[in-house]
Amino acid sequence: MPIRRILLATDGSRESNHALRWVEVIAVRFGASVTAVSVLETLNRDALKLTAGLKKDISLADSEILNSEQSRLARISAALQKKGIEAEIRISQGAPHEEIVKAARERRADLIAMGKRGLTPWGRMLLGSTTSAVLRKAPVPVLTVRRGTGKLAVKKILFPTAFAPMAGATLTWASELAEKFGAVLHLLHVIEAHKSYQSVKGGFIGKLKDSASRQLHSLAERTPGQKRNAISVRESVAVSPRAWSAIVDFAREQEIDLIVMGTNARKGVPKFFLGSVAEDVIKESPCPVITVRP
């Protein structure tokens, strides 16, 4: 799973600036190049009856915005190159999520990185529309970053799994990142069960946990031997009525630096639904999340 090319979707927001810091760290570790892309949404002039003078004013405003974005992206490119990272810039016009996905395909990106809006109590309830659309349509894994940290370090990576068919591919991403950063890799499975099950006699929950632990260990063994020997792996099984909540709680309690997880799309409509667990984790996670689609 080499990361050779990273696409950074940036709009100048605080969140996208946080994403830039992560891109710098990942690009240096993997020796990857970076394309910084900004998408400009212009006024729909065809839908308005505009005078010649107003059309001219809009054109001047568009030119000013374009020049400003070119300067901003040039500064990002220069900062990346200063760190020894090959960088280029791209500015396009249209629907942001469509242009980001298009740029990722054209640049053959291995990873898309972007900020996630939503730092207010209301904002935490919803993903930004652009971020949400990119997550659903991206041809490659997506790194979403909500908040910044002081000194960026990746010492602990969390791989939550529901044992989906594509879990092995996502584990490859998690283990590769763990090896590159010298991080501890935490494997977590959450048994979604109501608290009332805890009172069932006969060790019902205990047996479920034992079964899940065996599956988790079997999945861990699918990591190539050389890579498995190079990283420290810890396996955990939790019981909770809501899987996403247990994942977020685990990330907080264990001070996880990065979550790598798969997205389980609903049958028949994989392009439009991420899976509620992944979406809720992204919304509430205390750290950045890389989502890997089936």
What is the rounded average pLDDT for all residues in the chain? 84
- Is 274 within 8 Å of 141 (Cβ atoms)? no
Claim to verify: residue 92 and residue 224 sit in the same structural domain: no
For 179-202, the pLDDT digits (tens) are: 999 999 999 999 988 766 666 655
- Is 140 within 8 Å of 102 (Cβ atoms)? no
Of 152, 183, 211, which closes a domain?
152
Whether 89 has a pLDDT exceeding 80, the answer reads yes
Residues of the chain above pLDDT 70, percent: 81
Better-scored residue on pLDDT, 50 or 35: 35
Mean pLDDT of 55-81: 85
- Is 220 within 8 Å of 233 (Cβ atoms)? yes
Claim to verify: residue 70 and residue 23 sit in the same structural domain: yes
The first and second tokens of residue 269, run together, are 């409509």
The first and second tokens of residue 126, run together, are 């919803």
Show Cβ contacts of residue 185 under 8 Å, excluding neighbours closer than 6 positions.
157, 159, 174, 175, 178, 231, 232, 233, 234
Mean pLDDT of 34-63: 75
Claim to verify: residue 130 and residue 198 sit in the same structural domain: no
pLDDT the model gives residue 276: 76
Claim to verify: residue 171 and residue 115 sit in the same structural domain: no
Mean pLDDT of 118-144: 71
Whether 225 has a pLDDT exceeding 80, the answer reads no
**Which parts of the chain fold into alpha helices (H)?**
14-30, 52-82, 96-106, 129-137, 167-181, 204-220, 225-230, 243-253, 276-284
Categorize the per-residue pLDDT at 223 as very low, low, confident or very high, splitting at 50, 70 and 90: confident
Of 152, 172, 207, which closes a domain?
152
pLDDT the model gives residue 99: 94
Claim to verify: residue 40 and residue 139 sit in the same structural domain: yes
For residue 179, the tally of other CB atoms under 10 A from its CB is 17
pLDDT the model gives residue 273: 37
Whether 123 has a pLDDT exceeding 60, the answer reads no
Supply the CATH number for residue 248's domain.
Answer: 3.40.50.620
Nearest to 11 by CA among 132, 152, 131: 131
Mean pLDDT of 129-148: 87
pLDDT the model gives residue 122: 36
Mean pLDDT of 243-258: 96
Mean pLDDT of 107-132: 70
Half-sphere exposure of 270 (CA within 13 A, CB side): 9
Better-scored residue on pLDDT, 161 or 122: 161
Looking at residue 195, the DSSP 8-state letter turns out to be G
Claim to verify: residue 104 and residue 206 sit in the same structural domain: no
pLDDT the model gives residue 150: 61
Claim to verify: residue 209 and residue 113 sit in the same structural domain: no
Claim to verify: residue 116 and residue 162 sit in the same structural domain: no
pLDDT the model gives residue 25: 95
Residue range of the domain that includes 101: 1-152
pLDDT the model gives residue 266: 44
- Is 294 within 8 Å of 270 (Cβ atoms)? yes
Claim to verify: residue 166 and residue 263 sit in the same structural domain: yes
Whether 268 has a pLDDT exceeding 50, the answer reads no
Residues of the chain above pLDDT 90, percent: 55
Of 152, 186, 213, which closes a domain?
152
Q: Which has the minimum average pLDDT: 83-97, 118-132, 229-243? A: 118-132
Claim to verify: residue 8 and residue 142 sit in the same structural domain: yes
Claim to verify: residue 126 and residue 32 sit in the same structural domain: yes
Better-scored residue on pLDDT, 291 or 203: 291
Whether 270 has a pLDDT exceeding 60, the answer reads no
Nearest to 170 by CA among 233, 219, 212: 219
Nearest to 193 by CA among 153, 244, 131, 241: 241
pLDDT the model gives residue 267: 42
- Is 33 within 8 Å of 87 (Cβ atoms)? yes
Claim to verify: residue 177 and residue 217 sit in the same structural domain: yes
**How many structural domains compose the chain?**
2
